Amino acid sequence: MSRLRIAIQKSGRLSDKSLDLLKRSGLEFSRSKDKLFWYGKDFPVDLLLVRNDDIPRMLLDGVCDLGIVGENIAYEVMLEREATSELECLKLLGFGQCHLSIAVPESLSIENSSELQGKRIATSYPALTRHLLARKGITMQISELSGSVEIAPSLGTADAIADLVSTGTTLRANHLVELEVLYQSQAALYRRSEKLSVDKQLLMDQLLARIDGVLQARKSKYVMLHAPRSAVTKIAALLPGVENPSIMPLEGTQNLVAVHAVCAEGVFWEHLEALKAAGASAILVLPVEKMLA
């Protein structure tokens, strides 16, 4: 019987959320001693726990069928291997958000990346940086570093850096300012762009439907409220991302009904206040655990 192999980061920023997503999709694994290969128990999907930048390489080499990795790394490896059409991004996963930015020392009065033409830039993402700079018509001398990129300007080994930024704390701590965002990234699910056997494709479709369900449920909220019959249309229109709410009679009252709906978008205090102002009462907002369309 066919089995799928999915690679995720062993330990790092994306590991916990990747594993959590798979567990919420109903996958359970028996952990092997070396902890690099976990066997899928009830569903034929096994897990490989590897270094982040090995994931797209393993996908391209056919070692695994699916991989969860940052878009920045997938793009970097595809450029490095000149294989930009060989990985397919199946889903953006909504975590691991960051951006690849050019940053320069605060002390330099540079306002535009075009002023960096011909200068030195340090980065851990040489292929991506070269590619994105070239799109802007900028050529720089790229110095590849595997870490601590942010200290290159103060060491005098680079005039600028291209590094991932999430909160901006690292840049500030190193007296660097962001000049330009080159690329926005988040964790995504990838596969190799090639035809699978019928069995494997079926398995992959099943897994993708489950992952979709988890991602959709994460965004959704189940809202229950009481509303005067006369205000139901107005109140239903205030529920974010709802087309057809269920309207049910309430025992012992003629004027009030119960309205239940799955809101496909975030439900914020402003929404609740607007619902209350329109006549709603007893408003409850609950998380949705699983969804299958």
Q: Which residues bind ligand PRT (CB under 6 A)?
A: 9, 12-14, 51-53, 70, 72-73, 96, 98, 163-170, 185
Q: Toward ligand PRT, which CB reaches closer, 129 or 185?
A: 185
Whole-angstrom distance, CA of residue 177 vs CA of residue 26: 44
Q: Toward ligand PRT, which CB reaches closer, 25 or 101?
A: 101
* Cβ proximity of 7 and 48 under 8 Å: yes
Q: Toward ligand PRT, which CB reaches closer, 150 or 259?
A: 150
> Residue 157 CB, nearest distance to ligand PRT (Å)?
16
**Which residue do the tokens 């994306």 mark?**
14
> Residue 145 CB, nearest distance to ligand PRT (Å)?
11
> Residue 229 CB, nearest distance to ligand PRT (Å)?
50
> Residue 165 CB, nearest distance to ligand PRT (Å)?
4
Q: Toward ligand PRT, which CB reaches closer, 96 or 126?
A: 96
Q: Cα–Cα distances in Å, from 81 out to 76, 77, 125, 205? A: 9, 6, 13, 28
Q: Toward ligand PRT, which CB reaches closer, 25 or 123?
A: 123
Q: Toward ligand PRT, which CB reaches closer, 20 or 289?
A: 20
Q: Cα–Cα distances in Å, from 110 out to 140, 151, 177, 226? A: 15, 18, 10, 59
- Structure-block tokens of residue 50: 């590897």
Q: Toward ligand PRT, which CB reaches closer, 161 or 227?
A: 161
Q: Toward ligand PRT, which CB reaches closer, 72 or 113?
A: 72
Instruction: Give the DSSP H or E segment for 132.
Output: helix 126-135
What does residue 117 show for φ and ψ, rounded to 5 degrees? Answer: -45, 125
> Residue 276 CB, nearest distance to ligand PRT (Å)?
38
Question: Within the chain, how many helices (H) and strands (E) appear?
Answer: 9, 16
Alpha helices in 142-197 (DSSP H): 152-155, 169-173
Residue, CB closest to ligand PRT: 70
> Residue 170 CB, nearest distance to ligand PRT (Å)?
3
> Residue 148 CB, nearest distance to ligand PRT (Å)?
8
Whole-angstrom distance, CA of residue 27 vs CA of residue 18: 12
Q: Cα–Cα distances in Å, from 31 out to 18, 28, 47, 48, 154? A: 16, 9, 9, 11, 44
> Residue 126 CB, nearest distance to ligand PRT (Å)?
14
Whole-angstrom distance, CA of residue 44 vs CA of residue 290: 20
100 - beta bridge partners? 164, 183
